[in-house]
Structure 1
Amino acid sequence: MPRFMGFVRMEEGIGAPPQSLFEAMDVHIGERAAKGVFLDGGGLYGTEDAVNFVVDNGTVTRVDGPYAENKEIVGGWAIMQYDSLEEAVADQREFAELHAKHWPEVKVVATLRQISEGPDAPGA
C-alpha cells in the first residue's frame, strides 16, 4: 500500500489557528486513524529554535533559526497510506478545504508527496 507524506506550509508568525480548525482536524485525523490511513503526524514549532546544516561545495555550515528570509515554513506533517494515488489526492484536498473553511484569512499550502520505497521508485 503506497505511503504518502503530507505537509502544510504557511507564513511564520501569523498566530495560532482558530479553535474550530483544531476541532475539525481532530475529527478528520481521528476518522483516518480509525481506518488505518493516518499513521503519524503533528504540528511543528516555529523556526526560532530550528537548526540547519548546509552542505555547499563539500563544506558543512550550521545555520540556526529564526530565518528572516523565509516567507513560508512547514507548520505540520503527516504520514498516511492509501490504496491509490487518487484516494490520497482526494483526501489531501479535503484536508486543504478544512483550512479554507476554518482559517480563510491565511494562505496555506497543503502538499502531498509519495514516499519512495526503494532505488527504482520515483525520484530515485
Structure 2
Amino acid sequence: MEEGVGTPPQALFEAMDAHIGERAAKGVFLDGGGLYGTEDAVNFVIRHGEVSRVDGPYAETKEVVGGWAIMQYDSLDEAVADQREFAELHAKYWPEVTVVATLRQISDGPEAPGD
C-alpha cells in the first residue's frame, strides 16, 4: 500500500470486518492485523556479515506492508479466489489508492511449495 495516504474509509473497515468475520466463522481466517506506518519502524540490515540498525521514517519508501493475515485454505485455487475478493473490496471502497494484495504460502521447512 502507498505510505501516507491517510486512513481508509469507514465503508472499507466495515466491509473488511464482514469479510474477515465470514472467514473466521469458517475457520479460514487464523490471525491478522493492520500495521502502523514506517515512521517508528526499526530495521536491522545484514550486509556482508555485519548488522546495522536503521530507524524510520524512510524517505525513499513509497509502498509499505499495511497489514497481514494468516489464512488456511483447502486448495490454492480457493486462496487465489479469496485473495481476489479481498482486493476487490479495496478497489470498491478505496479506489483512489494503490494497494498490492500479495498471496504467499507459509513455509513449514526448507522445501519449496509443492515439494
Output the TM-score relative to the length of structure 1. Answer: 0.90
Who is 1:35 aligned against? 26
Matched, 1:82 2:73: yes
Task: Name the SS of the counterpart of 1:99 in structure 2.
Answer: helix
- Where in structure 2 are there 5+ consecutive unaligned residues? none
Who is 1:100 aligned against? 91
Task: Name the SS of the counterpart of 2:59 in structure 1.
Answer: coil
Once superposed, which parts of structure 1, at least 4 consecutive aligned residues long, lie more than 6 Å away?
Answer: none
Who is 1:69 aligned against? 60
Alpha-carbon distance between aligned partners in 1 of 2:35 and 2:112, rounded to the nearest angstrom: 28
Higher mean C-alpha displacement, 77-86 vs 110-119: 110-119
Report sequence identity in percent.
85
Which of the pair is proportionally richer in strand? 1
The count of corresponding residues between Structure 1 and Structure 2 is 115
Measured on the aligned residues, the alpha-carbon RMSD in Å equals 1.4
- Where in structure 1 are there 5+ consecutive unaligned residues? 1-9
- Greater RCO, CA 8 A, separation 6+: 1
Matched, 1:16 2:3: no
Output the TM-score relative to the length of structure 2. Answer: 0.96
